[in-house]
Amino acid sequence: MDSLRQIFFQECEEQLAELESGLLEIEGGSEDPEIVNAVFRAVHSIKGGAGAFALEDLVRFAHVFETVLDEVRKGRLSTASPVTETLLRAADVLADLVRVARDGGNVNEERIHTAADELAALSGAPIGANAEPEEEVSFEDFGFTPVAMDFPVFDDIAVVDTASVEAEAEPDATTYTITFRPHPSLYTNANEPVVLLRELSRLGDAQIVCDTSTIPTLEELEAEGSYLAWTITLATTHEEDDVRAIFEFVDGDCDLEITTGDLASGNDEPVGVDDDIAALLARVRGEFTDTATESASPAVSDTDIAHAGGSASVDNAAVAAIVVANIEAEAAKPTPEAAKAPAPAKAEKAAGSDAPSTNQTIRVDLDRVDRLMNLVGELVINQAMLSQRLTDAGLARDSEFATGLDEFEQLTHDIQEGVMAIRAQPVKSVFQRMPRLVREVAAITGKKVRLVTEGEDTEVDKTVIERLADPLTHMIRNAIDHGLETPDKRLAAGKREEGLVRLSASHRSGRIVIDIADDGAGINRQRVRAIAEEKGLIQPNAQLTDEEVDNLIFLPGFSTASTVSDISGRGVGMDVVKKSIQALGGRVSITSRPGEGSTFTLSLPLTLAVLYGMVVTVAEQTLVVPLTSIVETLKPKAGDIHGFGGDSRVISMRNNFLPLIDVGRELGYRSQPADPGAGVALLVESDGGAHSALMVDAIQGQRQIVIKSLEENYGRVPGVAAATILGDGRVALILDVDAIVAASRSGASTSETAFALAG
């Protein structure tokens, strides 16, 4: 049941996405009926599933929603802009209801009622949605009764059967006389009188008389005609409705008459019909066995019946006659093979083979993919080790081993890419949440916004996608709240009243790049500066380039909104955005032009399982520095290094002074400061965009490494992000650059000074 629930909610998410994108297309002027249909189906499916889980609020709302969409579908309701807006709002409410049904929590009753009222107003029918909030809308109003799914009840099926069977000998049984004459259409819709008669006989004691009198001669017999009728005398304790219910499916496809009381010649005496049928059967059987190929047998006196029975193209009517006799005799026994219309042999053969795969996708448990990913990681390491061994063994590059290994390396790489592709998903799943956000923020801020998304099919690792949602949400909010001007200001500036926010994704050199661009006023640098000075983030007279000013907004504690707005506020600044992007191994950058708008660019790795790192030596230890945090590397000259109170040192670079962090000492590998002249400085960017220089002894090279979590395998180590296994089998630690920079700051408190110097 739980897994069904899961599937249901998964599907709800898909349907909601479909619903929203469809509505947006309709809003954009599309008149494709298939889109309207898809939108209708989405709501319809949600309602159907919700009914099975007895999610009443959801069913109710979906029903009202669906009713309106049906009007649209039938062309009775135009999709002018106020209508689509209502529909979009309703889609948001539906999404909320789904979420509440899944995660619990409270629904905003008022919002639901408003949306339901709006919908009801559209469809013109007061479908209960206009009712007062405290008034319960009953499901009967919709002609829809939810039934909670309760699967372990299958044992009850047996009970149901016995219940109907035991009705036989009840003393207060009513006797019904049923005359039943099928029309040809009953047969063409694949209904079977024999099945109906069987069902009838389950209700009680049934005497079934078959009327064969209308069977024509063979010449006149139509293969698809209907020539048999039945009179059933049924003694049962069931109500007439139960009897009629059996004929529910064939209502209109037959002449049916049900009367109470035994109008036939009396149910004690089955009018010698059994004899008739027996005789008929005997003849028919005889025909089958003896003269199946002959059209008629002269030996039979009742020629009409003989023609029917002997016909090679035995039609439904004739077959039914055979089976009726069997019902009385052995109700439990399956009907004769002859009653099966298509060749049973084929059916058997078909049932033996597996279901054909008509679906081009499969759903795989994420754990399995991750396990595979891990194994591939091992494979990559193993391959690297093998290469190393061979190199160590001094084998020639053109030896068979070496070429074989090259192929192995290529294959390993391909497998790795293949597995990464399995985990990759289009960014669509995150992007499609944004239109709703834009609508909401636009409504709160009173701004007019159009969201354009591009590159939705760009793929990236699932984990990256999941962790991208929050920062993106925040940046979009920011773009509307801070970036875009109010409509009157825009008009005054000669721009379109409606602001534009463009969200686009693309692949660039092995990374995914996401742009969030607005066509607003651009960053107000004077104001940013003023705030940064006020908050003590920069010195009042600091000389900063435009770019540096723009980047101030990423500093912790910076917030441009003078009053904490409902939207961008919430105590989350761009520093948090930057931090979460960096945690994904990504970077954020910003470009802004006054009056033209700002663009935030996120650059992220395609996967979190591997990273490109610089392998370095520090105090004879091998460490890895993620390449994403390294801005540049340089060999410092002795003159560039300046002592700065105690052990602190700074390095001068292009007239800037940056704190020089001795990684060896920071990690406790050595107690004495290293000789900076003998080492290499890695210029790194850490939290808040500040640059520092990491002092290492030597660079071994750059390579792709497979990340092995330390926390899972050992425990958390400050200053270390994770570990990896190198080609020579050694374990190397991956530096947590941010943590090291932060530790050195708190330890030596050089940052303030560095900033002052930088000014």
Partner 1 sequence: MTKTILTVDDSRTMREMLLLALQEAGFNVLQAEDGMMGLEVLKDRQADVIITDINMPRLDGFGFIEHVRRDSTHRAVPILVLTTESDAEKKSRARSAGATGWIVKPFHPIKLVDAIRRVSA
Please, which residues have CB within 8 angstroms of residue 103's CB and are 6 or more apart in sequence? none
- Reading phi first (left if > 0) and then psi (alpha if -120 to 50, else beta), residue 660 is in beta
CB of 49 or CB of 520, closer to partner 1? 49
- CB nearer to partner 1: pick between 9 and 644: 9
The beta-carbon contacts of 331-336 under 8 Å, at least 24 apart in sequence, are 331/198, 331/201, 335/194
Minimum distance of partner 1 from residue 665's CB (angstroms) = 58
Among residues 558, 569, 525, 566, which one has the least CA distance to residue 544?
Answer: 525
Tell me how far, at minimum, the Cβ of 36 lies from partner 1, in Å: 12
The whole-angstrom separation of Cα 296 and Cα 281 is: 15
How far is it, in rounded angstroms, from Cα 341 to Cα 338? 7
Q: Which residue, among 639, 619, 628, 614, has the nearest Cα to 679 in the 3D structure?
A: 619
Output 190 or 329, the one with its CB closest to partner 1.
190
Per DSSP, 250 falls in state: G
Q: How far is the CB of 335 from partner 1 (least distance, A)?
A: 5
Distance CA 22, CA 652 (A): 57
CB of 313 to partner 1, least distance (A): 13
Minimum distance, C-beta of residue 730 to partner 1, in the bound complex (Å): 48
Q: Are 551 and 537 in contact (CB under 8 A)?
A: no
CB of 307 to partner 1, least distance (A): 23
Residue 124 or 344: which CB sits closer to partner 1? 344
Q: Which is nearer to partner 1, 298 or 334 (CB)?
A: 334
Q: How far is the CB of 167 from partner 1 (least distance, A)?
A: 16
- Chain residues binding partner 1 by CB under 8 A are 3-4, 7-8, 10-11, 34, 37-38, 40-41, 44-45, 47-49, 51-52, 142-144, 146-147, 149-151, 153-154, 156-157, 160, 188-192, 194-196, 198-199, 246, 248-249, 252-253, 323, 334-335, 339-342, 344, 346-348, 350-351, 355-356, 358-359
Measured from the CB atom, is 18 or 518 closer to partner 1?
18
DSSP labels, 312-336: SS--HHHHHHHHHHHHHH-SSSPPP
Name the minimum Å distance from CB 14 to partner 1: 8
Type of residue found at 626: P
For residues 358 and 545, which CB has a smaller minimum distance to partner 1 in the complex? 358
Dihedral over Cα of 344, 350, 351, 353: its sign: positive
Q: Pick the closer one to partner 1 by CB: 69 or 567.
A: 69
**Beta carbon nearer to partner 1, 342 or 571:** 342
Angle, helices 33-52/2-27, rounded to nearest 10 degrees? 150
Per the listing, tokens 């819709």 go with 189
3-state secondary structure of 516: strand
Closer Cβ to partner 1, 25 or 728, answer by number: 25
Shortest Cβ 9–partner 1 spacing (Å): 9
CB of 337 to partner 1, least distance (A): 10
Beta carbons of 501 and 452 less than 8 angstroms apart? yes
Helix and strand counts by DSSP (H, E) for the chain: 26, 22
First-to-final CA distance of the chain: 64
**Smallest separation, CB 687 to partner 1 (Å):** 43
- Strand order of the β-sheet with 649-653 is 630-634, 680-685, 691-696, 656-662, 649-653, 641-643
Give the pair of three-digit tokens for residue 595: 């009056």
Question: 31 vs 34, which CB is nearer to partner 1?
Answer: 34
> SS3 breakdown of the chain: % helix, strand, coil, rounded to 5?
50, 20, 35
